[in-house]
Amino acid sequence: MSASFKRLMEDSREMSRRSFLAIAGWVGFTAASAIALYQSLKFVYPNATYEDPPAFKADAPGTYGVGSTTVLIDKRVVINHDPNGFYAISLICTHLGCTPRYFQDVTSDLVDAGTSISKDPDTGQQATKASPALPGFKCPCHGSRYFRDAINFFGPAPRPMDRVHLEVAPDGKLLIDRSVIVDRAFRLKV
């Protein structure tokens, strides 16, 4: 009786050791596979890209008259010079990344159609029946529209276009860094 019980105990201990090893083996295998998968993802995730560097130089500040809007199309950046200073817009639609285009008038067709257009929260300008035309940007992909200061007012765009940092470089030219996104109140006074 005791001998067979002892054997049963030994058997079950043997079995549990075996199943423990089996479980440990499968856990190890799963963990190793997960790590391998993670490493594979790391492999295809680029560490360095050879894209156009985000910072570049434009012309000297004096070139841009007060009230002007300059589209630097191959850099996808807009330089606005307002009476209170310069600011730069990253010309990438916040909806799905198309390049909006600048127009002298992005509002009058909406005013004609009776669509109510919100007031520009920064400049306070509003398109009305009396003066329907406001300058701004229209995106060709899904029809988002922005005021001249990059604030969206129509279409699927979820937020205003990004403002990026600009400063005057030692050689007197404007240095624009597209990788640094700045606050909407940012202005560069020259």
Residue ranges in contact with another protein by CB under 8 A:
41, 44-46, 49-52, 73-76, 95-101, 138-143, 145, 155-156, 158
Using DSSP's 3-state secondary structure scheme, residue 29 falls into: helix
Q: Output the smallest distance, CB 139 to another protein, in A.
A: 7
Cβ contacts of residue 129 below 8 Å, gap of 6+? 111
Report the residue number, 51 or 183, with the smaller CB distance to another protein: 51
Identify which of residues 51 and 171 has a Cβ nearer to another protein in the complex: 51
We find the least distance from the C-beta atom of residue 95 to another protein, in angstroms, to be: 7
Instruction: Give the C-alpha separation, 91 to 69, whole Å.
Output: 12
Contacts for 132 with CB less than 8 Å, ≥ 6 apart:
105, 107, 108, 111, 112
Q: What is the smallest separation between the CB atom of 123 and another protein, expressed in angstroms?
A: 23
Q: Which is nearer to another protein, 87 or 137 (CB)?
A: 137
Distance of CA 172 to the CA centre of its chain: 29
Q: Which is nearer to another protein, 145 or 148 (CB)?
A: 145
Give the pairing type, strands 163-168 and 174-182: antiparallel
Residue 118 Cβ vs another protein, minimum distance, rounded to whole Å: 18
Instruction: Kindly tell me which of 91 and 166 has the beta carbon lying closer to another protein.
Output: 91
DSSP one-letter string for 34-86: HHHHHHHHHHHS-S---PPPSEEE---GGGS-TT-EEEEGGGTEEEEEETTEE
CB 178 within 8 A of CB 190: no
Cβ 145 to another protein shortest distance, Å: 8
